[in-house]
Amino acid sequence: MNHLLVVLVVFSPLVGFLINGILGKKLPEKLSGALGTLAVLISFVSSILLWNHVSIHGGFETVLFNWLAIDTLVLDFGFRVDALSIWMMLIISGIGTLIHLYSIGYMHGDKGFSRFFAYLNLFVFSMFLLVMGNNLVVLFFGWEGVGLCSYLLIGFWYHNVAYGHAARKAFIMNRIGDLGLLLGIFLIFKVFGTLHLATIAELASANLVQPQIINWITFLLFIGAMGKSAQIPLFTWLPDAMAGPTPVSALIHAATMVTAGIYLVVRNANLYQIATLTTQIILIIGLATSILAALIGLYQNDIKKVLAYSTVSQLGLMFVALGVGAYSTAMFHLTTHAFFKALLFLGAGSVIHAMGGEQNISFMGGLKNKIKTTHITFLIGTLAIIGFPLFSGFFSKDEILEKVFEYSPIAWGFTLFSAALTAIYMLRLYFVVFLGNFRGSETQKANLHESPISMTLPLMILALLSLFGGVLNLPHFLPENMSQFLSHWIASIPSMQFMAPSSHEHHLSQTIIFGLMGLAIVLVLVLLFLVYRFYASRQFNILPNQSRFSKLGENKFFVDEIYNHLFVKQIESRSEFLYKVFEKKAVKPFIMLFPRIFGQLGKVFQRVQDGNVENYLLYFVLGIISFILLILL
Amino acid sequence: MALILFIPLIVSIICFLLPTKWVKDFALAFSTTFFAYIIYLLFTDFNPQNDFHYTFQNLGIRSLGAQFTFGLDGLGMLMVALTNFVVMYVNIMATKKGYSSRFYGLVFLMQFALIGVFSCLSAFFFYVFWELALIPIYLILLFWGTGKNRKETFITFFVYTFVGSLLILGGFIFFHIEAKMGDYDGFQYLNMVTRNLEGYNALIFSTLMIIGFGVKIPIFPLHSWQAQTYKKAPIEGTILLSAIMLKMGIYGIFRWVLPFLDLKHTIVQEITIILSVIGVLYGAIIALRRNDLKLIAAFSSLSHVGLITAGLLTANIYGMQGAVIQMVVHGINVLGLFYIIDIIQKQTGTRNIQNLGGIASKAPIFSILSLIIILGTISVPLTNGFPGEMLLLFSLYLYKPVLAVIAGLTIIFGAAYMLRIYQLTFFREVSVETEDFKEISISQMFALGFIAFLVIAIGLFPQYILDISYITCTHLKNLLATRL
C-alpha cells in the first residue's frame, strides 16, 4: 500500500507530463490544464495519506529497481519517505496544486498552453525525486532534473532571445554548483563507501572520519546548494530567471526548487553538525547574500525583480539559520516563505495580468480599489514577509533571530539589519503598487480587471496559510504540547533527534528572548510608519534617485558585468585563441610533419598508378578474398 | 562467428555488383536485419558470465605464429552491436541521396573490417583488419567529400592514421620479441596476456601503442586531422568516423594496451591521462564559440572522448565500465547529433547556427527529439550520457581528485555550448533560411525517435549494458591486480 502511494506521488506528475507532452496539442485548453492540475493533486492526496502513515509508524524506504551496480557501488532507484521528505512533499504538491490551478487562468490563450503544463508536471516529478531519493544519486537526478525544467520554463517564450539567454545562464550557473555537488558525492563514496543517505547519517554520527574531510564534503555539497539556492557567488541567475511566466517564478524560483539547497543541508545535518568550518562559511555567505540582495531589491522597479531579490535574500536568511545549526528553524522559514512568497509572486502575476503585461511599478499605483482580492492577499503576504506580529513570517524570522543571537550577537545585528531591509523594500513595493494614483496609460486604466476565480482562489488559500502558517512551529516558551511542532516532527527521525527542542539547552534567559522579540516588533512598526510617511509625502510614487549608492543598487552592484568581464569574456577569448591561433600555428604544423615526408615518397610511387579507382577497388576486394581463401584452406 | 564476420563481406561484394536502383533497399533491409540479429543474440544467446563466445579458429599462417582466432566477449559484443547500429543508420540516411552501388559496397566492407577488429583475438589479424578498415573510409571521404582542399585534408587523415597503424604494428612486434612469445601462437591474445613487459620495455611498448591508437581516438594533441576531416567528409563518413571508428582506438587501448600495462611504471599512462584531460577542456572551450554545427560536434567529440580515454587508463573498475558504456553511448549520441545536423543542412542548406533559428515553431516534433538527444550529450541524469560520465569522473577522482575537477568542468562547458546550439538553432525567431522548414517525415521521426528512445532507455537502465561488459572488466582488473 505504501509502496503504491509512493509510486503514485512520484509518477502521477510524470504521467501528466507524458499526456500533455504527447497529446497536448490535440487537447482543449481546459482539459489540458485540468489534467496537469489533477496529476499534482493526486500527489498531494497521496502525500497526506503517507503523512498519516509516517506519523504513526515512522519513515520507510521503498526501492523500485537497481539502477546501477558495480562491485560495492550499488545504486538503487529508491525512495525514502520520512518526516523530512514528507514535509517537503506536502509543500511541493500542495503549493504545486495551487499554482497549477492558478496557471489555468494565467496561461489562458497562450500558444504553448499544454507545453507549459507538461513542463510544470515534469518539474514536480523531478522535485519529488530530489526530496524523496534514498541515496545521493537519485537526489542528483532530481537536482539536475529541476534545473533542466527550470531552463525549459525560463525560456518558455522561446522567440525572445533575452529569455533564452536567461534560461541558459540559469542552467550553466546551476551546473557550476552541480559539479561541486557531484564531487561531494564522490568524496562521500570514497570516505563512507555508500551513497545511501540514512547510512551516511549513521556513519557520520559515529565520528570516525577526520573533521577536515567532513569539512570538505560538506563544503562541496554546499557549492551545489549555492547554485541551486542562489547564494553568493552563484546568485545572479535567479533575478534573470524572472523571464519565465510568473507561475514558474512562484513555484520554482520561490517556493520549491530554490529551497533544494536548504533541504540538502538539512538532509545531511549529521555531517554539518560536525563540520564547524563549513557552517561558519555558510553563515557568512548566507548573511552576505541576504544583505546584498536586499540592498539591490531596494532599488529595483520591476515588480518581479524586487520579489526575486527578496527570494535570494530570504534564502540567505535560511542559510544563516543553517550556519548556526538551527536546522528545524531553517525548515520552518522555508515553509512560511514558501507560503508568502508564492502568494506574493502569484499576486504579482495577478497585478501584471490586470495591467496587461506591465511589470514596471512606476506605471502602477492606486490598484487598491481596482483589484480588491489581489490587494488584500498581497497585503497579507507583505505583512507576513516583513514579520508583522502574529503573521507566519513573524514567527519564523523571530526564531532565526533568536538562534543567531544565541550563536553570536554580532551576526544577530547583521541579520536584524537584513530583516529591516526586507521590511523597507517590501513596504515600498506595496505602497507604490497599491496606494496613491494610477500612473499607467489610459488603455491600461480602462482594462484594469480582477483575475478569474482560478487565479484568486489560490491567492486566498495562500493568504490563509501566510496568516496562520506560524502555528507550525510556535515559540518554545509556550506550553510544550502546542509549541515547536515542526522541530519535534523532524526530530522524530532517529538520526535527527538532536534537533528536538527539549534536548536543546537554552542559554538565553526569558527576559532576553522577550526583549529580542519586542525589539523586532518595535522595529517593524517603526519602519512601517517611516516608510509610509516617506512614500505618502511623494504620493506613493518613486522618484529617480541620483545618489551614487542608488545607482549602484539599480545596476545590481555590477555583479553581472564583473562576472562577464572576469569569466565569460576570458573564456571566449581563449576559445578564439585556441581555435584560430593555437590549432593552426602549433598543432597543425606538428601534425603535418608526417604527411610532408610521406607526400614526398608518394610522388615516387605516383607513376605506377593509373588513376582508375574502380580498378583499385576490384583489385582490393579480390586481394582480400584470395587472402582469406588462403587462410581457410 | 564466421557468420557474423563474413556475411558483411559477402554483402559488400553483392552491393558492388548490384545496379544502383536496387542497392539501397537491399542495403537497408540487410543492415536492419543484421542489427536485429545481433541484438537478438545479445539478449538471448549471449551469456555475459562466459569469457569469449562464438570462438572460431583456423590455422592461419603457422610459420608466423599467427592463428586466425576470433571470439567475442562482452566488450567485443557491444562494439559489434554498435557497428551494426551505425551501419544501419548510415544506410537509413543514405536512402534519399542517390549514392551509387560502390558507396554501399564500401560501407559493408568497412563493417566487415570493423567486426574483424572487434572480434579478432590474434594480434596479427587484428592489425590486418585495423588497416583494412582505413581503406573504405578513405575512399568514401575521397569520393563523396565536399569543400575546398579536401584532398589535402583527407590525405593528412590517411597518412596520419596510417603512421599510427605502423606504430601499432611495431608495438606488436616489439612485444612479440621482448616478451619471448615463441613461434607458435605467439600473437594469440590469450597467450599474450599471460606475459607482460617490465621497465623500459613496457614503456616503449605502451608509448608505441598509445600513440598508434591515440591518433584514431584522437588524444590531444594528435587531433588536428579530426575537425577538418569531419567538416569536409560526407555526413555518412563523419558518422562512420566519429560513431564507430574512433571507438576502434579506445577498444585498442582496452584490449591491446591495458592488459600489458606495467603498473609499477606508469609514466606513459599518467601523461596520457593528463593529455586526455587537457583534450576534454580544450575541445569544450573551442566548441564554445564555433558556428559550424559540424565543427562543434567534432570538438565536442574530442572533449567527450578525452574523458573516456582518461577514465579508462585509470584502470580501475569504474573507469573501465564507464568507458564501455560511454563508448556505446557516445556512438549513439554523436550519430544522433550528426543526423540532426544532416536534416537541418538538407532543409536549409546551411550549418551555420548564426543563420538558423526558430525551428521549434516550425517543426515541434523534430525539436523535441533533438532536445532529448542533446540532453543525452550533456549528460543530464536519466539520459544515457549520465551513468558513463559519472563513472568516468569518479574513476578520475579516485585516481587524482584534481583531474576530476578539471575534467568535470566539461559538464559546465558542455551544457554551455550545446545549449547555445540549441537556442540559436531551434529557439529565437525564424530566419530566412528556416522560414520554409518543414516537420520531418514519418520515417525520419522513427529513425530519430529510436535514438531518442535509446537515450532515455539506457539512462534509466544502464545496468543492462554494464552487465554485458562486467566480466571483461573484472577479468582485466584481476589481471592487473596480479601485476602489482
| Sequential DSSP letters for B413-437 | HHHHHHHHHHHHHHSSS--TTTTT-
| Mean model confidence pLDDT for chain A | 86
The answer to whether A251 and A281 have CB atoms below 8 angstroms apart is: no
Using the predicted structure, report yes or no on whether residue A192 has a pLDDT greater than 60: yes
Q: Which helix (H) or strand (E) holds A328?
A: helix A327-354
- CA A325, A399, A136, A249 dihedral sign is negative
Query: SS3 of A302, please?
Result: strand
The answer to whether B187 and B64 have CB atoms below 8 angstroms apart is: yes
Distance CA A487, CA A276 (A): 22
Give residue B264's pLDDT.
78
Q: Which of residues 220-249 of B touch A (CB under 8 A)?
A: 221-225, 227
Using the predicted structure, report yes or no on whether residue A618 has a pLDDT greater than 70: no
The answer to whether B205 and B260 have CB atoms below 8 angstroms apart is: yes
pLDDT confidence tier of residue A414, bands split at 50, 70 and 90? very high
Using the predicted structure, report yes or no on whether residue A511 has a pLDDT greater than 90: no
Using the predicted structure, report yes or no on whether residue A89 has a pLDDT greater than 60: yes
Do the bridges between strand B53-61 and strand B66-72 make them parallel or antiparallel, or are there none, so unpaired? antiparallel
Give residue A293's pLDDT.
92
Quick one: which of A321, A381, A450, A338 has its CA closest to A95? A338
Give residue A615's pLDDT.
63
β partners of residue A61: A80
Give residue B58's pLDDT.
65
Using the predicted structure, report yes or no on whether residue A507 has a pLDDT greater than 90: no
The answer to whether A395 and A336 have CB atoms below 8 angstroms apart is: yes
Contact criterion met (CB < 8 Å) for A172 and B282: no
Name the residue with cell 510544550: A480
**Range name among A142-156, A295-309, A532-546, B344-358 with the lowest pLDDT average:** A532-546
pTM score of the predicted model: 0.90
Burial B352-388 (b: 16+ CB within 10 A, else e): ebebbbbbbbbbbebbbbbbbbbbbbbbbbbbbbbbb
Contact criterion met (CB < 8 Å) for A69 and B282: no
More confident residue, A27 or A624: A27
Name the residue with cell 522541530: A487
The dihedral formed by the CA atoms of B262, B267, B271 and B274, expressed in degrees to the nearest 10 = 90
HSE toward the beta carbon, residue A587, CA cutoff 13 A: 21
Per-residue pLDDT of A465-502, as tens digits, reads: 999 988 888 887 777 777 788 888 888 888 888 877 76
Report mean pLDDT in 10-residue bins for chain B, 484 residues.
82 86 87 91 81 69 67 89 93 85 90 92 88 90 85 82 88 84 72 79 88 88 83 90 91 90 82 92 89 90 93 92 94 94 90 87 90 92 92 93 91 89 87 85 92 94 91 88 78
Q: How large is the average pLDDT for residues A86-115?
A: 90
Query: SS3 of B266, please?
Result: coil
Give residue B231's pLDDT.
87
List of chain B residues whose C-beta atoms are within 8 Å of the C-beta of residue A178: 411
* Residue B56: all three cell numbers together: 572460431
Does the CB of A592 have a partner CB in chain B at under 8 Å?
yes
Contact criterion met (CB < 8 Å) for A595 and B12: no
Give residue A554's pLDDT.
76
Using the predicted structure, report yes or no on whether residue A593 has a pLDDT greater than 90: no
Query: SS3 of B222, please?
Result: coil
The answer to whether A496 and A359 have CB atoms below 8 angstroms apart is: no
Q: How far is CA A74 from CA A136, A140, A271, A406, B318, in A?
A: 12, 15, 21, 42, 12
Query: SS3 of A441, please?
Result: coil
pLDDT confidence tier of residue A464, bands split at 50, 70 and 90? very high
Count residue pairs from A and B with Cβ separation < 8 A: 163
pLDDT confidence tier of residue A312, bands split at 50, 70 and 90? very high
Does the CB of A168 have a partner CB in chain B at under 8 Å?
yes
Q: How large is the average pLDDT for residues A517-533?
A: 88
Distance CA B102, CA A340 (A): 70
Q: Which of A76-90, A350-364, A545-559 has the largest mean confidence?
A: A76-90
Compute the C-alpha angle B406/A197/A312, nearest 5°: 65
Amino acid found at A629 = L
Quick one: which of A175, A156, A158, A145 has its CA closest to A237? A175
pLDDT confidence tier of residue A613, bands split at 50, 70 and 90? low
Q: How far is CA B31 from CA B8, B13, B24, B27, B104, in A?
A: 9, 14, 10, 6, 11
Instruction: State the DSSP code for B441.
Output: P
Q: Length of chain B, please?
A: 484
> What's the start-to-end Cα distance of chain A, in Å?
67
Burial (CB < 10 A; 0-12, 13-18, 19+), residue A206, is exposed
Quick one: which of B167, B212, B203, B175 has its CA closest to B65? B175
Using the predicted structure, report yes or no on whether residue A598 has a pLDDT greater than 80: no
Does the CB of A164 have a partner CB in chain B at under 8 Å?
yes
List of chain B residues whose C-beta atoms are within 8 Å of the C-beta of residue A632: 58
The answer to whether B185 and B57 have CB atoms below 8 angstroms apart is: no
Instruction: State the DSSP code for A584.
Output: I
Give residue A121's pLDDT.
93
Q: What percent of chain A has pLDDT over 70?
A: 92
Backbone φ, ψ for residue A16 (5° rounding)? -55, -45
Give residue A631's pLDDT.
60
Does the CB of A74 have a partner CB in chain B at under 8 Å?
no
Quick one: which of A420, A143, A380, A101 has its CA closest to A250? A101
Among the partner-chain residues B102, B159, B375, the one whose CB lies closest to the CB of A617 is B102
Per-residue pLDDT of A529-564, as tens digits, reads: 888 888 888 777 777 666 777 777 777 778 888 888
List of chain A residues whose C-beta atoms are within 8 Å of the C-beta of residue B387: 68
Distance in Å, alpha carbon of B325 to nearest chain A alpha carbon: 12
Using the predicted structure, report yes or no on whether residue A368 has a pLDDT greater than 70: yes
